Structure 1
Amino acid sequence: MDDADRQLLRRCRLRLVSELQVAELWDSLLGRGLFTPDMIEDIQRAGSGSRRDQARQLITDLETRGSQALPLFISCLQDTGQDVLASLLSTSCGAVQRDLEAIRLPDYELEPLRLNPGTPKWGRNADLAYVMDADPCGYCLIINNVNFCLKSNLSTRTGSNIDCDKLQKRFRLLHFTVEVKCDLSAKEMLLALMELAQRDHGALDCCVVVILSHGCQATHRQFPGAVYGTDGCPVAIERIVNLFNGTGCPSLGGKPKLFFIQACGGEQKDRGFAVASASLKDSASGSNTESDAAPFQESPGDSDQPDAVASLPTPSDIFVSYSTFPGFVSWRDTKNGSWYVETLDHIFKQWAASEDLQILLLRVANAVSEKGIYKQMPGCFNFLRKRLFFKT
């Protein structure tokens, strides 16, 4: 399916999920060769098996069914008397095509645009970049844990509110609907994340989760580390991420899911090593610098985790950015906020209009690595399939 048809389906997704009568479509979809019987059975089993869940899965799977998928689907709608939806897609399809023709440039003008990463989005290779045209682009949930209960033995994260304010403003400028939740226990964190994952993201293009908290090492199979609730109980990063995979959040299928973790990965403090050509910046750690470290946490006993992890699909369209290398401390200034968030906000402000997410995070990693007597090295786990350019 070409990019224009894919965008059209996403624009009409809410209406289609709301009104599509899927039970009447099966024979027509099979007859026109859009889906095999096994594919139809998978769609019928989607989610709770309700009409709405089946419709949502059908629209998601339709994007994978080739260049003629949309016109064939419109024909199926006409075959089954769903003329209003067929007309909606046909009319919209014509409008999109006219818009594309209006902005189409000659080949000799397009080629330089493809080579320049700082050009407008319509000049980039659409097959290699995610669609980020919706407005709002998606939800951004920021969990900001500052005050921890006494029994947790975790200190107040002074300066975290500065991080939270910066990120709230930054992601609003990037066309996200931002929600902030403060001082959540581990259970409350999971409930907030599950509520976000269970929303219908069909008309949106992306989802962002930011967690500002104390952190620690934790046993894992996929994504390292854990973050603390204000009750001192840890929540594994991989558990958070997997709430938003294809099984847990089907309406985000094929769309980028971004996680930014400002928390320690452990208790090790890195003094770095001498490099002759390195230009040392911010050489003094300063009396206002604290870490977000907490002790290593083993997962208790033989729980149901092995079965749960074994049943997960391969991660895709997931990007997890860590403020520090697993096992190491992440530094936070009580007056200016954390090194990672302060740098992230500055880099996004300067470069988000022209560079993709991976280049932005390389800039962040390089800048943070040059700070302080004690060192810090941000990194990421990248399972994106395409480049991601924010809407600016």
Structure 2
Amino acid sequence: MSNPQTLEEEVYDMSGARLALTLCVTKAREGSEADLDALESMFQQLGFESTVKRDPTAQQFLEELEKFQQAIDAREDFVSCAFVVLMGHGLEGRLKGEDEKMVKLEDLFQVLNNKNCWALRAKPKVYIVQACRGEQRDPGEPVGGDNLVMISKITTETIPTYTDTLHVYSTVEGHIAYRHKEEGSYFIQTLVDVFMNRRESILELLTEVTRRMAEAELVQEGKPRKVNPEIQSTLRKRLYLQQN
């Protein structure tokens, strides 16, 4: 029989403040406002304090995230988790600001890690990246599959610098991301629908997002295309977003 305390330790405590920051380049990205509207509805339903910054330059991507980190560390109440949504044109490992200059995703990711953000130490930090990661297009294959990476439980008294983080990319390495000029990006719209209407842990939710995207067929320039998100997790516990 399972020990109740053990089960409690395997789930992140979501009783505190939930914070979200969305940095979105709307310039030359038709449909991005539809994504912002969908995300606003999702964060509201899930009980997040949400901040949106439109059209950041490359430098402002970093500056706004650093302000977010400083505000989190300055809070006196308990913080449960943070979501950061990054949307813009991009290449592998980089995002393009409104000024057409590039910022490294790794520089953005490290701002909230266990070393640099005390209030989020051992707390879940979720990055959602809606951007191209290259120019490749996936026509699809007759047979496919998926992998689920299991995260081992940490039992030591210290914690690694890069745990408790989830990176969710709209597409796999080297490939483009698709965005409808009126309806928004298929990735963000699917993610919001799943997150708002299902109650499983976040990795289970993302598996459902991947399933739906993998089953769909997009048409670009008259040719059928396939696309699926990529999920990189160092979460140590199950993360549930729906409020009781």
- What's the TM-score bracket when you normalise by the shorter of the two chains? 0.7 to 0.9
> Are 1:237 and 2:105 counterparts?
yes
Letter of the 1:274 partner, please give it. Answer: P
Larger radius of gyration: 1
Selected match of 1:210 from 68, 81, 85: 85
Equivalent position of 2:192 in the other structure: 345
Aligned residues, how many? 219
On the 8 A contact 2:114/2:161 being kept in 1, the answer is: no
The DSSP-based 3-state class of the residue aligned with 1:272 is coil
Aligned mates of 2:237, 2:103 — CA distance in 1 = 29
> Are 1:355 and 2:186 counterparts?
no
**TM-score relative to the length of structure 1:** 0.53
Aligned mates of 2:136, 2:162 — CA distance in 1 = 29
On the 8 A contact 1:324/1:379 being kept in 2, the answer is: yes
The DSSP-based 3-state class of the residue aligned with 2:129 is strand
Offset of residue 332 of structure 1: 0.5
Equivalent position of 2:95 in the other structure: 227
Selected match of 1:146 from 21, 26, 34: 26
The DSSP-based 3-state class of the residue aligned with 1:125 is helix
Selected match of 1:328 from 175, 181, 197: 175
On the 8 A contact 1:356/1:388 being kept in 2, the answer is: yes
- The 10-residue stretch of structure 1 (266-275 or 196-205) with the greater mean CA deviation from structure 2: 196-205
Letter of the 1:362 partner, please give it. Answer: T
Offset of residue 123 of structure 1: 11
On the 8 A contact 1:198/1:248 being kept in 2, the answer is: no
> Are 1:389 and 2:240 counterparts?
yes
Q: CA offsets per residue over residues 42-85 of structure 1, 9 Å max, x none?
A: xxxxxxxxxxxxxxxxxxxxxxxxxxxxxxxxxxxxxxxxxxxx
The DSSP-based 3-state class of the residue aligned with 1:188 is helix
Letter of the 2:63 partner, please give it. Answer: L
Aligned mates of 1:375, 1:124 — CA distance in 2 = 41
Aligned mates of 1:239, 1:377 — CA distance in 2 = 25
Aligned mates of 1:336, 1:170 — CA distance in 2 = 16
Equivalent position of 1:188 in the other structure: 60
**TM-score relative to the length of structure 2:** 0.85
Q: CA offsets per residue over residues 116-143 of structure 1, 9 Å max, x none?
A: xxxxxx9992111000012xx3210011
The DSSP-based 3-state class of the residue aligned with 1:243 is helix
* Higher relative contact order, structure no. (Cα contacts within 8 Å, ≥ 6 residues apart): 2
Letter of the 1:318 partner, please give it. Answer: T
Letter of the 1:141 partner, please give it. Answer: L
- List gaps (5 residues or longer) in structure 1: 1-106, 115-121, 148-155, 218-224, 277-312
Higher helix share: 1
Aligned mates of 1:348, 1:251 — CA distance in 2 = 25
On the 8 A contact 2:115/2:161 being kept in 1, the answer is: no
> Are 1:126 and 2:126 counterparts?
no
Letter of the 2:88 partner, please give it. Answer: S
Q: CA offsets per residue over residues 170-219 of structure 1, 9 Å max, x none?
A: 011111101110011011111100001112255210011001111102xx
Equivalent position of 1:366 in the other structure: 211
Offset of residue 391 of structure 1: 3.8
Selected match of 2:37 from 151, 165, 182: 165
Aligned mates of 2:143, 2:64 — CA distance in 1 = 44
Over 3 Å counting, the alpha-carbon distance change for 1:124 and 1:264 in structure 2 is farther
Offset of residue 247 of structure 1: 2.0
Equivalent position of 1:81 in the other structure: none
After superposition, residues 1-392 of structure 1 pair within 5 angstroms as 125-134=7-16, 137-147=17-27, 156-199=28-71, 200=73, 201=75, 203-217=78-92, 225-275=93-143, 314-351=161-198, 354-371=199-216, 372=218, 373-392=224-243
Identity of aligned residues (%): 32
Aligned mates of 2:228, 2:5 — CA distance in 1 = 34
Offset of residue 275 of structure 1: 3.6
Offset of residue 380 of structure 1: 1.1
Give the superposed CA RMSD: 2.0
Letter of the 1:139 partner, please give it. Answer: L
